[in-house]
């Protein structure tokens, strides 16, 4: 393919910039959504590059259907190539210039199935945040009248008893408003449970999600998040690269041959990183510690380091395990059992 077309995506008007692989400009056009799809279907096969933003994965699939090679590039890799003023034409040109760098990294286009699983995960996550907001609002209202309600959704029965207790001196208006919030929270709980059951069913049927759940500390929600948001494992040379993509490695401030490592970078996909650290923390609580073999790497690290630091280190190891399992198509093998056999 001798032509590269950069596309600045939008809702209705698309700006395209075509150039040869050596950087010579061929043409610039501004097209509507309908015109863009018809125009690209008439073009000879070429490389089409877009920023990884809203609708980018959809248009990448559409370009592949038309015979083009679609590539997505992270927006923060494009911004250094924008010349002077920012506009659609300058953005499309910058996309081409960035994509022609030999060392540039690209985002793997997602399939419709991956995006569907992502929507399911995001819907549940949104409902959980809304439920937390409602619970915090209810607790703060009761606190204004001297009632300290316990934290967490499992304590809603205690809060309901405070609201419904006829011996409390809560005004009638406060009781009515609190009952409305309790009803809203109950509705959220029902919808969250329904989505969780759907995620568990999908995770039980998907081969990759089923395999990931054999790792201690990974449940159906984490497995579904990895399958929905993580790129193909073949795009990483080793498990450490996958851990770096997730932001579970120290941020470097090295210069002059001196290596300075700071806190974890928190780059990459935040949902997978958060769930993995949460799963690692579950292995370090009083119940999970019973499954940790004495003298193992995890036991030695937990004996001398803070729990949160150990959780991040364990999450890093889980990520590398995920990469190895998905590359080799194998289930998790407990190191302690492997050594015993």
Average pLDDT over residues 243-255: 87
DSSP assignment string, 19-32: EETTS-EEEEEEEE
**pTM score > 0.85 for this model?**
no
Average pLDDT over residues 290-318: 86
pLDDT of residue 70: 95
**Residue 30: is its pLDDT beyond 90?**
yes
pLDDT of residue 317: 93
pLDDT of residue 297: 83
pLDDT of residue 85: 85
Q: How far is 278 from 132, CA to CA, in rounded Å?
A: 17
Q: Which residue has the tokens 């907001």?
A: 133
**Residue 1: is its pLDDT beyond 90?**
no
pLDDT of residue 340: 52
Q: How far is 17 from 22, CA to CA, in rounded Å?
A: 14
Average pLDDT over residues 128-133: 95
- Residue 256: DSSP 8-state: T
Looking only at the bridges linking them, the beta strands covering 47-51 and 69-73 are parallel
Looking only at the bridges linking them, the beta strands covering 69-73 and 250-252 are unpaired
Ramachandran region, residue 257 (left: φ > 0; alpha: ψ -120 to 50; beta: rest): left
pLDDT digits (tens, 9 = 90+) for 135-192: 999 999 999 988 888 888 888 888 898 898 888 888 999 999 999 999 999 999 999 9
pLDDT of residue 152: 84
Pick from 25, 79, 34, 22: nearest CA to 53: 79
pLDDT of residue 335: 67
Residue ranges of the alpha helices (H) in 213-306? 220-229, 239-245, 270-284, 297-304
φ/ψ of 293, rounded to 5, equals -75, 135
pLDDT of residue 288: 67
Pick from 112, 107, 117, 171: nearest CA to 142: 171
CA 32 to chain CA centroid, Å, is 31
In this prediction, residue 291 has a pLDDT band, given cuts at 50, 70 and 90, of confident
Looking at the chain, the whole-number percentage of residues with pLDDT higher than 70 is 97
What's the chain's Rg over C-alpha atoms?
Answer: 25
Average pLDDT over residues 97-119: 92
């Amino acid at each position: 393919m001798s032509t590269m077309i950069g596309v600045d995506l939008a809702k209705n008007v698309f700006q395209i910039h075509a150039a040869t692989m050596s950087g010579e400009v061929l043409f610039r056009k501004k097209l509507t959504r309908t015109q863009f799809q018809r125009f690209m279907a008439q073009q000879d096969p070429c490389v089409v590059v877009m920023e990884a933003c809203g609708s980018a994965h959809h248009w990448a699939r559409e370009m592949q259907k038309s015979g083009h090679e679609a590539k997505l590039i992270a927006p923060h890799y494009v911004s250094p190539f924008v010349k002077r003023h920012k506009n659609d034409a300058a953005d499309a040109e910058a996309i081409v210039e960035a994509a022609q760098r030999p060392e540039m990294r690209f985002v793997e286009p997602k399939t419709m199935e991956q995006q569907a699983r992502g929507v399911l995960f995001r819907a549940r996550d949104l409902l959980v945040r809304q439920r937390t907001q409602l619970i915090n609002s209810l607790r703060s209202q009761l606190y204004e009248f001297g009632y300290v309600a316990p934290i967490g959704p499992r304590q809603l029965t205690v809060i309901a008893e405070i609201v419904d207790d006829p011996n409390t001196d809560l005004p009638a208006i406060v009781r009515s408003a609190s009952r409305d919030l309790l009803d809203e929270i109950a509705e959220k709980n029902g919808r969250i449970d329904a989505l969780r059951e759907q995620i568990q069913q999908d995770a039980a049927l998907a081969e990759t999600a089923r395999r990931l759940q054999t790792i201690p500390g990974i449940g159906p929600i984490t497995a579904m998040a990895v399958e929905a948001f993580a790129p193909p494992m073949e795009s990483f040379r080793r498990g450490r690269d996958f851990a770096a993509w997730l932001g579970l490695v120290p941020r470097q401030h090295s210069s002059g041959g001196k290596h300075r490592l700071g806190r974890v970078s928190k780059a990459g996909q935040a949902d997978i990183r958060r769930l993995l650290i949460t799963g690692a923390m579950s292995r370090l609580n009083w119940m999970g510690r019973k499954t940790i073999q004495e003298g193992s790497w995890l036991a030695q690290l937990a004996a001398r380091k803070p729990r949160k630091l150990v959780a991040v280190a364990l999450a890093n190891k889980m990520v590398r395990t995920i990469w190895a399992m998905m590359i080799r198509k194998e289930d998790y093998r407990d190191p302690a059992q492997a050594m015993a056999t």
